[in-house]
Amino acid sequence: MTRPVKLACRHVWKLYGPHPERLVGKSPSLDEIRASGHVGAVRDVSLNIGEGEIFVIMGLSGSGKSTLVRCLSRLIEPTAGEILYDGEDLLKASPARMIEIRRHHMGMVFQHFALLPHLTVLENVAFPLEVQGMARPAREARAREVIALVGLQGREGHYPRQLSGGQQQRVGIARSLAVEPDLWFLDEPFSALDPLIRREMQEEFLRIQKQLKKTIVFITHDFDEAIRLADHIAIMKDGAVVQVASPEELVLAPADDYVRAFTAHVSRAKVITLGRIAVPGVPADVAGTLPAEARVEAVAEQVVTAGRPFAVEREGAVIGHVTPQAVIDVLIGRGG
């Protein structure tokens, strides 16, 4: 299950204040930073983001998650640290190289959509290609493709203000995908949407990702959203990463009380996978085979209705089985 690392950061700091450079060499504690009149927006963050995974950075407002993602994309210059994209340190890249990387390898979706009000949907989506100097017919053809991908055919001539919030964010998604980036940043993309639309957009997002398999850095303050989408979650507090883990590990083994407070109310069935509750051996009367990565909630009805155990397999090999009883135990919060 280990993937090659696409994007990594090493000891990234972002301090605001009178003399951030002087302070950062001392690896100051939170109290030291505050006492010296600085603000520690990002403190000593190191992460590995694997190719093709959805990596969620989760934190409450003011925890530094937005600053961190802007450091990763170098929209904000970190005070110290390394940002490694395919092994290349972005902080050492020249402005021209940075423009080159952003034009061809990065895409970003914004919380408030950041659509250009004076351009149509088609022109908005084609904008990143226009900036590269692509000719009009080619860029418009490509823009139409991604507009179709997000289901907005027929709206190409509309202006952003004529669209609903959900539709506007679809435009934002299409625009960020127009250049076929391999790194896709999403900064709280669904936070400004109504709950029903948000749900729908999450489904849509998962559908697109299944098709495209981008490396994704996804920011959210919504823990439910994080566990729904993430392969890995980094939880941030006061600018530092508290824990990096899969949703399942977070729930089962929270690193501290802060993480525990988030996970306490989460339904176990939403995060626990069959691989976790499978027991070795395969009985003769199995009703079928299920993947180990499947979450209990997703298959509960199937297993309980069948009334018989299911074999569990990972990467083609059977690793054991689950019984309806084990599934019910997880559902009602017993054991697990």
Partner 1 sequence: MKTWPLIWAGLAVVALVLARAVAVPDGWLWPPQAMHLPLARWISAGMAWLTDSAAIGPVTVKDLTRGFARLIEAPYEAARVLLVEGITEGRGRRATTIVPPLSWVAVTVAAVALGHYARDIWLGLIAGALMLYLAVFGQWDSAMITLASIVIAVPLGVAGGLGLGIAALHWRPFERVLSPVLDLMQTVPTFAYLVPVLVLFGFGPVAALLATVIYAMPPMVRVTLVALRGVPPEIVDFANMAGCTPGQRMRKVMLPVALPDLMVGVNQVIMLSLNMVIIASMIGAGGLGADVLESLRRLNIGGGIEAGLAITALAVVLDRLGQALATRAGGGRGAKGNWLRRHPRTVLVLAVTLISAAAGYLIPAVQDWPKEWTVTTKGFWADLMQWINVNYYDQLEALRNWTLVNLLIPVKDFLLALPWPFVLGTVALAGWALGGWRLAALTGALGLFLAATGLWEQAMITLYLCGVSVLIAMCIGVPLGIWAASGETAGKVIGAVIDTLQTLPSFVYLIPVVMLFRVGDFSAMIAVVLYALVPAVRYTAHGLRSVPEELIEAGIVSGATRGQILRKIRLPMAVPMMLLGLNQTILLALSMLVITALVGTRDLGQEVYIALTKADVGRGLVAGLSVAAIAIIADRLIGAAAKGARERLEGGA
Residue 114 in contact with partner 1, rule: CB under 8 A: yes
- Examine residue 70 and tell whether it contacts partner 1 (CB under 8 A): yes
**Closest approach of partner 1 to the CB of residue 74, in Å:** 9
Which residue's CB is nearer to partner 1, number 86 or number 130?
130
Does 253 sit near partner 1 (CB under 8 A)? no
Rounded to whole angstroms, the Cα distance separating 228 from 295 reads: 10
Q: With binding defined as CB under 8 A, does residue 137 bind partner 1?
A: no
Q: State which residue, 127 or 258, has the beta carbon closest to partner 1.
A: 127
Q: From the CB of residue 238, how many other CB atoms can be counted at a distance below 10 Å?
A: 16
Cα dihedral 218/222/225/226 (nearest 10): 50
Considering only CA atoms, give the Rg of the chain.
22
223 is a contact residue toward partner 1 (CB under 8 A): no
Least distance between partner 1 and beta carbon 211 (Å): 22
Residue 168 sits in the site that holds partner 1 (CB under 8 A): no
320 lies in the site for partner 1, by CB under 8 A? no
| 103 makes contact with partner 1 (CB under 8 A) | yes
Nearer to partner 1, 177 or 235 (CB): 177
Tell the smallest beta-carbon distance from residue 164 to partner 1 (Å): 18
Q: How far apart are CA 237 and CA 211, in angstroms?
A: 33
Choose the stretch contacting partner 1; rule: CB under 8 A; options: 20-28, 54-62, 128-136, 237-245: 128-136
What's the closest the beta carbon of residue 106 comes to partner 1, in angstroms?
Answer: 6
Q: With beta carbons less than 8 A apart as the criterion, state whether 179 and 187 touch.
A: no
Question: Is residue 117 at the binding interface for partner 1, with CB under 8 A as the rule?
Answer: yes
Rounded Cα distance between 171 and 268, Å, is: 35
Residue 159 near partner 1 by CB under 8 A: yes
**Total Cβ atoms within 10 A of residue 317:** 7
29: three-class secondary structure by DSSP? coil
Q: Is 300 in the site for partner 1 (CB under 8 A)?
A: no
Q: Is residue 139 near partner 1 by the rule CB under 8 A?
A: no
Tokens of 170: 């679809």
- H or E segment to which residue 57 belongs: strand 54-58
DSSP alpha helices (H): ranges in the chain?
20-24, 30-35, 65-72, 95-105, 121-132, 136-149, 165-177, 195-212, 223-229, 247-252, 257-263, 268-271, 274-277, 296-306, 324-331
| Cβ closest to partner 1, residue 60 vs residue 116 | 116
Q: Does 180 bind partner 1 (CB under 8 A)?
A: no
For partner 1, the binding residues in 73-92 under the rule CB under 8 A are 73, 75
Query: Contact at 8 Å (CB) between 282 and 318?
Result: yes
Asked whether position 301 contacts partner 1 by CB under 8 A, the answer is no
What is the binding site for partner 1 (CB under 8 A)? Answer: 70, 73, 75, 99-100, 102-104, 106-108, 110-114, 116-119, 127-128, 130-132, 159, 185
